[in-house]
Structure 1
């Protein structure tokens, strides 16, 4: 004799067909930490897409909390399009424990925590969140580039708790770079070198500067006005961001490197590195002569590119050489033909020989990065029960 079990929700409301639809939809509940340029766009993108996602993917994607470093807005049914106004009015001080407690009190399932901060301290909440049942998506590079012990311990916790951590936007904004490298590496392909222009802002600056007559300060101001750089462009010009991206790729290949192992060419004159941002802007003209000399000394049909290069004996844990430098390249090369603010990555492997796999596309911009984070959320949602 067979037994038929009827869901209690159907017994209580047998005539409300919408309940039948909602029962079959996968429910995923998201908390977003950080709502600056990237975070705010991500919230808006999700809210705008919710109905279409529900229809096409049978997925009920709900943002149950939006937080910055000071306050959080909670809504177990999901924040609405006016979330910024509501957060200004109803946002409350919080701790990570409060977020976890809220999810538990409201029996929220399939939890994902999104880190859109650039906070070096926030990453120390990752383990706590994973242990509380959250998977992770992050545009923040710091969790993957601080010491190797943290990196390994986080992955051990993720494995033990059977949770996921996606961070495709850490390198290349919305480009499918990390996934490609993971698949190649896991399939046993021997990756021998990765090089390219890792920074959309520095791509734009040197694409514009190399082939024109403008001064470097004029091009830099142009990049700032177009929103391609950080508010303090020294964060781009120092090269540390490119270095972090290179380190992330090295660690994807199971190489045991730290940030200190990378040779990084800082493009900022020493006397301008520690002055205030305003003083730096007042003295931008001091960059013009040294960069003019670099351009003048270029060989015919060559341009300048700021390149990250991972090479050496990548079959050994400690065999990698990591360099970040401003170098001349031929206009006819793949790197030399780069335009706008695109990033480009050349992946050399044993099987492909001298012909690299090339991944190229938009490498800067809040909207592109937010869309990449959104993509990680959807991919992760597919893996959840």
Structure 2
């Protein structure tokens, strides 16, 4: 024999009930069944509301009662043929009339006792189970209905009655010994006291009913049918990648249920646990899905962590003081106070110094607990031996659960390391001697990030999800998105990196999608987004609080560069091609680097120098390995190199600069490149990364541009001025020809002095043959003395810059 329990969502409406009837009919062909039915979805809540309204003198309870009656009659009419409805409708109406009499009594008396409440709440299961039993008889004649109040006997503790198992087991066995029906339908949740008064079994009552029946009959299996595919590795509403757990032990199931898994309520499985009867959690709406099998059967070679769960709305109360050290009875007094106030303690930890005791309770109990504890210890508080209790609200308990965790070393370290890397602050820790669960208290705002991070680490083959927030989607940004879209599958399969673009913004629009933007249509989605707002963009990124968040700045905007600090302080990595921050005041540059270390938030800016070339990374490795950079010579502007490589007797300076802009080699404002400030910033960044302190105004910038050109305020005026000063640029070109040299814009650092300037490069110099938009850097160090370390390659262009940004993102994924 098997016992099957169907929850409220499984019998929410006629369509769902038909699915349940189909499941029962199939299973009844092979074995005897007991079917335990919950109230229709939401009906118990409606009954509770109606009773409270009636007791408060609110006549609108009659409206709720009418809704309850209508709901049941409509379902009955849809399930039962018209020819057989008359007597059944009359029976349902009689039950509803009895309910109405009770509610009228509450209304007239102006009160609602626990005993009356139990009787009123019992009507949900009485109605649903009766309708279900009658519907089942339409196809399965060898089925019957039995009122669970005649089988399950309790004490008179109304609201949460305790079962008298000796009498109950005898009644159940006697009934089923003489019953020959293939299927018996029983209402869940309800019972009766020894003298026949209605009682209820409390939270999880229908599960409890099913477990009581299964335990008494030594059933082969207890099946709990619900609306999910079993117990999950985490709450699937919070962790989208959560997976159903195929096999789990009783103890693991209870631990997960205690820590918030709603599928099962721990006390309800006690009757089957004692008899070693397996439990199967199944989905009514996907009956072919495997579900979760709960038993004492040992599973070899499985993940030692079976699930990650949490309890929210937690308050942490700490009682501490020197007066507790070595004084016996402090803990006893504390827990007696809480017990007297009927406050359940969910979490306990105590320092070995005995200086403090920390407990976790529900937020709703916090005020009462604080007052009661302070009153109980008022003498010690007055004598300054103990401090008034410290109360911290709006916290959450997260827990790793697994029967075999005790046999695997380093799990707790892995858990806390994973949380720490994502800046999740741990307020308290508890681990039982059984090591079946490791619990930690964190801020409620961090729970989604914490659960997803832990799940990723323990259940997703070390796949790391990176959440990108991209500011600036012009030429470079467009290529960056294109590259992500192209490589997304490769990264997931080969590097175990799952890239998601959560937000995009340009100067006009911004668009957010917490589940990840569909990159095939990102341009359309961005156009449909809201008006761009830098402050709101930042606030959204921080509020989402996603794990492994990365802010990607693909602008040349100074105001954007000033927000890096806000992100780094919140453990949000920053990847940028914007040189302004790293070329700002030295103190600000050092502060950003320090914040990156302090909050474990990578700050990467490889594309600040040389686009996609590994120039900054090389400097970092030189310095880290103990080498010292003594001299730097470089051509660092791909745009200027392109311009001077193409400026000749056939192409005017104006036309070449125009072409450089059209190909995306210059900044949107070409004066940034041509003024030399862009090159000055780049050499400054290399100098700082080499370990030297320098400010931008200490770099000599010998401009080759006429002052009138640099003083223009629009691009149109700037290009017009290039035409007006064409003779100036022609003279520079002719001088280079006369010296048999080529023009290169060179940055140099040596002996603490730096400068950037246009130079005439002779044929025997390494810079002479630098073509196109290429960059070149020569590092002279303690190790590279006679022959400098040389890095050369494309140093400008949307695609190579985007690839450099992409490489920085991947570096973060590999950390």
**Residues 75 and 226 from structure 1, CA distance in 2 versus in 1: closer, same or farther, beyond 3 angstroms?**
closer
Cα pair distance change 1:97/1:188, threshold 3 Å: same
Question: For 1:291, what is the secondary structure of its paired residue?
Answer: helix
Match of 1:363 in 2: 795
Q: Which residue of 2 aligns with 1:301?
A: 740
State the secondary structure of the residue aligned to 1:65: strand
Distance, in Å, in 2 between the alignment partners of 1:359 and 1:149 is: 29
Corresponding residue for 1:265? Answer: 702
- Is the CA contact 1:195–1:309 (under 8 Å) kept in the aligned structure 2? yes
- Give the alignment's TM-score, normalised by structure 1: 0.88
**Structure 2 counterpart SS, 1:347:** strand
Aligned pairs, how many?
Answer: 365
Match of 1:96 among 508, 520, 538: 538
SS, match of residue 241 in structure 1: helix
Structure 2 residue 683 is the aligned partner of structure 1 residue 246: yes
Cα-to-partner distance string for 1:183-227 (whole Å, 9 max, x where unaligned)? 1112111211111110001001112236x5543334333433433
C-alpha distance in 2 between matches for 1:71 and 1:219: 33
Q: Is the 8 A contact 1:197 1:305 kept in 2?
A: yes
Q: Which residue of 2 aligns with 1:188?
A: 626
Counterpart selection for 1:172 from 607, 610, 627: 610
For the residue of structure 1 that corresponds to 2:562, the secondary structure is helix
After TM superposition, where is structure 1 displaced by more than 4 Å over at least 4 residues in a row?
A: 12-16, 19-22
For 2:791 and 2:632, how far apart are their aligned partners in 1?
Answer: 11
User: Are 1:216 and 1:287, in contact at CA under 8 Å, matched by a contact in 2?
Assistant: no
Which of 484, 498, 503 is the equivalent residue of 1:65? 503
Deviation of residue 22 (structure 1)? 7.4
Return the offset for 1:69.
4.4
Distance 1:218 1:179, change over 3 A: same
Mapping of residues 1-385 of structure 1, within 5 Å: 7-8=233-234, 9-12=242-245, 23-24=460-461, 25-80=463-518, 81-91=520-530, 93=533, 94-101=536-543, 103-104=544-545, 108-209=546-647, 214-275=651-712, 276-298=714-736, 299-312=738-751, 320-383=752-815
Q: Flag the 1:228–1:160 CA change in 2: closer, same or farther, 3 A.
A: closer
Which protein shows a greater Rg? Answer: 2
Contact map agreement 1:194 1:348 (CA 8 A) in 2: yes
Contact preservation (8 Å) 1:238, 1:265: no
Per the TM alignment, residue 310 of structure 1 is displaced from its structure 2 partner at its CA by 1.2
Task: Say whether the 8 Å CA contact 2:642–2:772 is kept in structure 1.
Answer: yes
Q: Deviations over 1:29-72 (max 9, x none)?
A: 11111111112221221122211211111221111111234543
CA contact (8 A) 1:234 1:268 kept: no
Q: 1:371 to 1:68 in 2, by over 3 A?
A: same
CA change 1:91–1:45 in 2 (3 A) is: farther
Give the secondary-structure state (helix, strand or coil) at the position aligned to 1:162: coil
